[in-house]
């Protein structure tokens, strides 16, 4: 009998939580449309609003400032726009400034034309260059509109945490807007929108154990809002039209409720497992490079390169041994290739990196098996300097 497969790709998607599954199944048995005023419609509306409250609580926001979407990509495209309103007053954004390590959903610039999207450099650990941010904001053409800065709180490949408070202070001083992609950080570090100083957060359901197909744009208030991306029946208070998906939203709410609880305890256990993993990798292959190991990271992520091993080769080798991990990000339709994150860090020499991302149900035995396979793969890679 084949050994069970080991899942080490939580940053791509987390396993569905039992409580999320239960909430979803309950919604499947309900009939109605949440926009209807009869009993069935009101019951669905109540369930959606309960989930909205749980999502808001996860990040310290007001429920009325949560716009439910089909996922983080839609949320990014909703908020990354030159067109905003402050109440009924139009407000224009002149340029979008993004870090070079952003997820493609942000790096592509949403509804901004390409010439108005500016990439900001990071250092060798993948931390935003604050001097470059200062220079960009000081040279911003205010006649074009306000500046917008979009930065991820935790990087999906390296796990590196950005200095959001320092970034927020600079953006506020420049009278700009700050959008924070909190997709990988949610449930792994405490989130408090007022403390972060962000104007908007982006969240994803399936990264925290909810279903795919649900996400949210969370605003710091209910007055400043982007122009709608999807127009129609006026759902989500006119910010996002389309009949709501109660099943996905209920699962998202259940996952958000779980993610908000006992973060420190859950992540302390996960951090201990990662420490065992990285210590073991260094013992088995002293030349392994664990990227950004010297700066703050979310506790579950280890992104590494082995000299003489191409990322795609390692990815396949682990998979054949029954271990699911990633060669960089899983956000590009199954493509395996160079990591734009490593390139931005000045670290990609063509071989790329492998990402192990774990979660609360990962076991010490699974870490042991990963190290066993890592040792085998490291031993049979081509010698450094040999032809590819």
Give which of 221, 266, 283 is closest to 85, Cα–Cα: 221
- pLDDT surpassing 50 at residue 387: no
- Name the catalytic one among 331, 338, 369, 371: 331
Q: How many domains does the chain have?
A: 2
Distance (Å, rounded) from C-alpha 217 to C-alpha 384?
Answer: 46
**In terms of domains, do 170 and 304 share one?**
no
Selection from 112, 88, 93 nearest residue 199 by Cα: 93
Q: Tell me the whole-structure pTM to 2 decimals.
A: 0.94
- 56 in the same domain as 195: yes
For residue 18, give the H/E element and its range: helix 18-28
Same domain, 309 and 364: yes
pLDDT at 388: 45
CATH of the domain at 160: 3.40.640.10
Task: Write down which residue in 259, 283, 307 finishes a domain.
Answer: 259
Average predicted confidence (pLDDT) for the chain = 94
> DSSP string of 250-317?
HHHHHHHHHHTSSHHHHHHHHHHHHHHHHHHHHHH-TT-EETTTTS-B-TTEEEEE-TT--HHHHHHH
Q: Which pLDDT does position 339 carry in this prediction?
A: 84
Label residues 193-215 b or e (16+ Cβ within 10 Å = b).
beebbbbbbbbbbbbbbbbebbb
Task: Specify the pLDDT at position 330.
Answer: 47
How many helices (DSSP H) and strands (DSSP E) are in the chain?
Answer: 12, 14
- For the chain, give the number of residues: 388
Q: Tell me how crowded residue 145 is: count the other CB atoms within 10 A of its CB.
A: 18
CATH code for position 286: 3.90.1150.10
DSSP 354: E
Give the per-residue pLDDT at 327: 87
Whether residues 323 and 250 share a domain: the answer is no
pLDDT band at 53 (very low <50, low <70, confident <90, very high): very high
Q: What is the pLDDT of residues 183-234, one digit of tens each?
A: 999 999 999 999 999 999 999 999 999 999 999 999 999 999 999 999 999 9
Task: Output the CA–CA distances (angstroms, integers) from residue 24 to 21, 28, 210, in the order listed.
Answer: 5, 6, 9
- Co-location of 241 and 267 in the same domain: no
Query: Is 388 a member of any domain?
Result: no
Is pLDDT of 163 > 90?
Answer: yes
Residues of the chain with pLDDT > 90: what percent? 91
Tell me phi and psi for residue 359, to 5 degrees.
-150, -170
- Catalytic, 59? Answer no
**309 and 210 within one domain:** no
- Within this chain, do residues 274 and 216 fall inside the same structural domain, yes or no? no
Please report which confidence band the pLDDT of residue 335 belongs to, taking 50, 70 and 90 as the band edges. low
What's the pLDDT at 176?
98
pLDDT tens-digit map of 247-303:
999 999 999 999 999 999 999 999 999 999 999 999 999 999 999 999 999 999 999
- Residue 216 falls inside a structural domain: yes
Q: For position 349, what pLDDT does the model report?
A: 63
Q: What is the DSSP string of 36-98?
A: --SHHHHHHHHHHHHHHHHHHHHTT--GGGEEEESSHHHHHHHHS-SEEEETTEEEEEEEEEE
* Residue 189 and residue 65 share a domain: yes
For residues 32-55, average pLDDT:
95
Whether 122 and 68 map to the same domain: the answer is yes
Question: Cβ neighbours of residue 332 under 8 Å, at least 6 residues apart?
Answer: 104
As a whole number of angstroms, the distance between CA 212 and CA 215 comes to: 8
**Cα–Cα distance, 243 to 117 (Å, whole number):** 32
Tell which of 218, 234, 259 closes a domain: 259
pLDDT at 347: 83
Res 348 pLDDT > 80: no
Which of residues 224, 259, 294 is at a domain's end?
A: 259
Domain that holds residue 347: 6-15+263-380
Whether residue 166 is found in the same domain as residue 239: yes
Q: What mean pLDDT is predicted for residues 145-156?
A: 98
Residue 1 lies in a domain: no
């Amino acid at each position: 009998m084949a050994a069970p497969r080991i899942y080490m790709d939580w940053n791509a998607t987390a396993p569905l939580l039992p409580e999320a599954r239960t909430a979803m199944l309950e919604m499947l048995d309900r009939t109605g449309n949440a926009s209807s005023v009869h009993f069935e419609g009101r019951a669905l509306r109540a369930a959606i609003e309960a989930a909205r409250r749980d999502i808001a609580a996860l990040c310290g926001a007001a429920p009325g400032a949560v716009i439910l979407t089909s996922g983080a990509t839609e949320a990014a495209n909703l908020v990354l726009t030159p067109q905003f309103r402050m109440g009924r007053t139009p407000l224009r954004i002149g340029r979008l400034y993004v870090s070079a390590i952003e997820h493609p959903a942000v790096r592509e610039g949403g509804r901004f034309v390409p010439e108005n999207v500016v990439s900001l450099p990071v250092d060798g650990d993948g931390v935003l260059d604050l001097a470059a941010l200062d220079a960009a904001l000081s040279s911003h053409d205010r006649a074009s509109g306000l500046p917008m800065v979009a930065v991820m709180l935790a990087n999906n490949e390296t796990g590196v945490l950005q200095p959001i408070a320092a970034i927020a202070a600079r953006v506020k001083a420049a009278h700009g807007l700050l959008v924070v992609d909190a997709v990988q950080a949610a449930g792994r570090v405490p989130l408090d929108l007022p403390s972060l100083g962000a104007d908007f957060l982006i969240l994803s359901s399936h990264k925290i154990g909810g279903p795919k197909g649900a996400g949210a744009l969370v605003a710091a208030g209910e007055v400043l809002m982007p122009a709608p991306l999807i127009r129609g029946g006026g759902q989500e208070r006119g910010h996002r039209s389309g009949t709501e998906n109660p099943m996905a939203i209920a699962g998202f709410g259940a996952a958000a409720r779980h993610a908000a609880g006992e973060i420190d305890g859950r992540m302390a256990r996960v951090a201990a497992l990662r420490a065992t993993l990285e210590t073991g990798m260094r013992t088995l292959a002293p030349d392994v490079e664990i990227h950004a190991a010297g700066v703050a990271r979310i506790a579950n992520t280890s992104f590494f390169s082995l000299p003489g091993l191409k990322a795609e080769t390692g990815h396949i080798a682990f998979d054949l041994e029954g271990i699911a991990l990633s060669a960089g990000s899983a956000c590009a339709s199954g493509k395996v290739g160079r990591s734009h994150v490593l390139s931005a860090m000045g670290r990609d020499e063509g071989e790329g990196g492998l990402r192990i991302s774990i979660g609360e149900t990962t076991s010490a035995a699974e870490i042991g098996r990963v190290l066993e396979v890592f040792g085998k793969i490291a031993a049979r890679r081509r010698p450094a300097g040999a032809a590819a």
